[in-house]
Amino acid sequence: MFLDIEMPIMNGFEVLETMHNSKIINQCSVFMVSSLTCIETIENCFKLGAKMYFTKPILKDKILETLKS
């Protein structure tokens, strides 16, 4: 699942935290996408179970490399 942090209604942190608390995060891989580059933001995503954090603009090759591994 690719999940942007800045979304209407429920932001990516809220979705990720809900998935983490309900243990759904263990059943899928979540890749965060954002223009935010603050280290605390990135660390928080990993603490909540995100597998990778991509900053915008996202390079196609980086996504393909991540999906292969």
* Reported confidence tier of residue 62, pLDDT bands at 50, 70, 90: confident
Q: Is this structure's pTM higher than 0.75?
A: yes
H or E element, residue 34: strand 31-34
Question: Based on the structure, what is the number of domains in the chain?
Answer: 1
pLDDT of residue 66: 84
Higher pLDDT, 59 or 16: 16
Q: Residue 48: give the domain boundaries.
A: 2-68
> What are the tens digits of pLDDT across the range 8-56?
999 999 999 999 999 999 999 999 999 999 999 999 999 999 999 999 9
H or E element, residue 52: strand 52-55
Specify the CATH number for the domain of residue 9: 3.40.50.2300
The answer on pLDDT for 69 being more than 90 is no
d(CA 11, CA 68): 27
